[in-house]
Copies of this chain bind each other. A is one copy, B any other.
């Protein structure tokens, strides 16, 4: 056979789809429609999908074979096996909450739930494991881990301080009580974890600069690889939160921060 073996994960299938060369008209329609309806493949019949792509069923069959599958059933098995989470009753309940009155408190909570979930899924997709490992490595030997995060990043920083305490990681939270900057507390063998999102707070940027000048390892937890916080940092961890209204639920940022802290504790223990 001239075709490469069939993909055996959904991810691989997606990539293969994207990397597909130019195709005859009908097969292209198949590719486009499948790519746009990945979540329905598991629960549709050949006839339904073919109708959606506006091709006859036989065209879809040919497409499956071109992709390396034996037939449609073969492809479908991939997607059926991948269905696990996302319990449908949760989706239903969420829809109910949302639609029963846009200004009801329940509807607002539903929106934040949804944006939190999307943020978490984004993080799962885009997490840069290499950067995370480097960040842990970098802070592993630090005497004290300095934490800074102000305004909306403050909850994250303060939770990290709590977690570090529990994990016996020497940490210091720069919270700016009384306007004190405490930047003198940075010692030569320390490290800094700075958390900030656009618009970046000047105090945070200032502390990063200072730590950088002293040659300390700096890890940034921020929303952009190119933002000002990324400049002074050795390692940048990015996380993209989905907003609802003017606010974000911080779910993904907290998950990443927690994972970092626990990994750091594990690294220090060995």
Contacts and interface: CB of A to CB of B under 8 A. Distances in A.
A80 interface: yes
Contacts of A127: 97, 106, 109
Q: Could you say which of A44, A82, A109, A166 has the most chain B C-beta atoms within 10 Å of its C-beta?
A: A109
A249 B260 contact: no
B123 A262 contact: no
A155 B166 contact: no
Interface in A95-113: 96-97, 103-106, 108-113
Contacts of A211: none
Report which residue of A103, A254, A260 has the largest number of chain B beta carbons within 10 angstroms of its beta carbon.
A254
A19 interface: no
Interface SS of A by simple majority: helix
Contacts of A255: 109, 112-113, 116, 249, 251
Interface pairs A-B: 8 shortest CB-CB: A86-B86, A109-B259, A155-B155, A105-B263, A82-B88, A251-B251, A106-B129, A112-B255
A49 to B, nearest CB: 13
A200 interface: no
Contacts of A110: 124, 259
Given A105-B136, A262-B245, A251 B116 contact: yes
Interface stretch (A8-16, A24-32, A58-66): A8-16
A22 interface: no
A154 interface: yes
A83 B263 contact: no
A46 to B, nearest CB: 15
Interface in A225-270: 245-247, 249-252, 254-256, 258-260, 262-263, 266
